[in-house]
Structure 1
Amino acid sequence: MSTTGNGKLSGKVAIVTASTEGIGFAIAQRLGIDGAHVVVSSRKQANVDKAVSTLHEKGCSVMGITCHVGKDQDRENLIAKTVEKFGGIDILVSNAAVNPTVGGVLDCPPGIWDKIFEINVKNALQLTQLVVPHMQKRKGGAIIYVSSIAGFHPMPVLGAYSVSKTALLGLNKAVAHQVACDNIRVNCLAPGVIETKFSSALTENPALVDKMLEQIPLGRLGRPDDMAGLVSFLVSDDASYITGESFIAAGGMQSRL
């Protein structure tokens, strides 16, 4: 039985990019459990099918669409198919990101730098540009950009990635200011070190983990589910007077910009 019809997000339509595993999947699952119609997406059809099957088993109203956010046609198709299926869009969680290199920011090759900023920042903006008109038709909406603790406190091994996540903090402020008159709220989630496939280069290195745990007062790495409840709150009416803010969920790690 579908959970849609119950919960604080009942009837809302949510798109979550890069949502077939890790933080994105945990967010999609929570939004679905809280009543939203959820659209999950990633680049590989097999991963999309697996995520949809799992969420169906949990009673969520869900549709899956393959989408490489770096491709214009894929982004447009994601939006069009969502509107065709569910009639509109109320929520966007922009979670897609890449980090194809490890090292300091001064060591980043120009091509890698361009790719990181293309996916992590430019494509987030382009998705926003596509969904805002549909939110305006609904007289409101909520957008979440997934940044990182590294956007506040750069990690030496993630130099260029850290800068791209800082850029999202600025994008968050700029978009929130522009769309507030349309009752569209925009906020940013900044996860700490979360145990996912994406972060495995960090979390599977015992020496790095020990060093990171020394900086985490709660004494553990984060889990994807640790992010999901906060996002569900921020896109719900419970957060109706919150916009343009960045929320750090990092177990107490230092987080000043």
Structure 2
Amino acid sequence: MTVPAADPGMLNPVTLFMTADWVVKIVMIGLAGASIWSWAIIIDKAFRFTALNSQADTFEKALSSGRSLEDIASQAGPNPAHALPRMLVVALADWRETRARGTLTEQQGNLLISRIDRSLDSIIAREGIRIEHGLGVLSVVATASPFIGLFGTVWGIMNAFGRIASAGNTNLTTVAPAISEALFATAIGLAAAIPAYIAYNKFSIDAGKFSGRLESFADDLQAAVARRLGAPTAPVAPPPPPPSDFAIRRAD
């Protein structure tokens, strides 16, 4: 028996979309929109992380050049856009404000370090939220797209069985269009999910590394302030309690 040749136009994505059932069309349009959205986020994050790390490298080179912290902060301006110089500006502003009140006691120095710590933690938290913005979309696209595409596949196969029942035969030309539409929906779902999954994992790692970079700089800033105050960087252990009267009587 001779099997009819497949129509080459059947594999054309435009033809597959135009001949698809309206439910499969909605699935295809939704997956295509999710893919475009995720690619916009991927491109934005790629440029953003490249710029952030490049600016951080430049700032750290300035720190290692031997220049004073005040000089670097003055060059950065009163409200830097990057988190690292902004942390330096905030720490030095608290330092100058406290020093302007006169000689610092040990308690005032500890309060200053605590205040700087809270300010730096706030900057790190806000920066973490900013750089992770959009990663949730990539996560949703990566996890949901294959299942949405599978729904389109199941619906297309249901249509294929419907055509078999209405035609009364199992000829390949009867069911091939519906099966092709179903598999095309699955392909679009995978095309949307795979890049989103890879990008989500990469940018999550990049965000964690950048947050760790900010936390390390915050520790260095607090240590620098502690050295200026002449205070230890670690809390001093409290003195041991005096012996009780019972212990003194036993010693006698």
Q: TM-score, normalised by structure 2?
A: 0.24
Higher strand share: 1
Rg (Cα) greater in structure: 2
Higher helix share: 2
Structure having greater relative contact order (Cα 8 Å, sep ≥ 6): 2
Q: TM-score, normalised by structure 1?
A: 0.24
